[in-house]
Each structure stands twice: as structure tokens, then as C-alpha cells.
Amino acid sequence: MMQILQEVTDWSCDYKPSNHTYLIDSNKVYAYAVDGGKQIVKLNQPLVIDKRYRKFIKTTHSGLAKLMSNVVPSNVRIFNVKSKNKVYTVEVTDNTTYRDWEIRFVIFYIVFIQRKLGDRSNKVSIWL
């Protein structure tokens, strides 16, 4: 679950690292606001963060909240499926693993139903 956490760790040492505000999904950081300010650093790849010996509080941050919708959670797989002359973008959300042929079967069934109902959208979301 995606969260915005502000670090409030009391660093009792000579060097005081900055306490940033992070956009975190479980233990992966996708972006952070420098010192909780307006400057946002968006990471190209999620960075694993170790929360041991650190303190965090839930908070809100308008800049990081905008990014929350653009970040794909770790339990979502996105891929394209071609069906004749149309390409469908498929999001599969699950916490378990399914064989690829099972997912393809479900996708093609949904595409079949969409065609029957006349739905012209190219996006299919599946929660398994």
C-alpha cells in the first residue's frame, strides 16, 4: 500500500542526515521530498529502504500525492495484449502467482465480452 511517510528520526551524532518525506510502498521508496519541502526527487528505480532504527509518521504532501497515481504498486503487472488489429493495456492485480496462460484466458474472455457489449476502451483491469 502506497504511503507518504515523514522521517522524524532523532540523529544523535555529529553529522545530522536530513529527514525527508518519502513516497513508500512496503519497503521501497519511489520518490521523496527533500527535507519535507517542495523539491521532489523521483527515482528511476525503486530504492529499498531499511526502516530499522528510524522513525516515521504518516503525513500528507501535495507533490508526492500527485505522484501516487503514477506509481505502479509492486503487486500490479502491466502488459499489452494484441487481439487482431487492437492492442489492449492490461493491469493484473494479485498477491499470488498465476500461470501466464490462465491470465491470457481471462483477458481474452474479457475482450470477447467487451466486443459483445460494444465497449471500445483499450484498457482492461483484472483483480485476481
Name the residue ranges covered by the structural domains of the chain: 2-68, 76-127
Mean pLDDT of the chain: 77
Where residue 55 falls (left for φ over 0; alpha for ψ -120 to 50; beta otherwise) is: beta
- pLDDT above 60 (res 96): no
Residues 6+ apart with CB under 8 A from 109: none
Give the 3-state secondary structure of residue 57.
strand
Confidence band of 11 (pLDDT split at 50, 70, 90): confident
Q: pLDDT: is 105 or 22 the higher one?
A: 22
Predicted local confidence at residue 75, as pLDDT = 61
Q: pLDDT: is 120 or 8 the higher one?
A: 8
Can you tell me the mean pLDDT for 18-38? 88
% of the chain surpassing 70 pLDDT: 62
- pLDDT above 90 (res 22): yes
Predicted local confidence at residue 58, as pLDDT = 92
d(CA 22, CA 111): 38
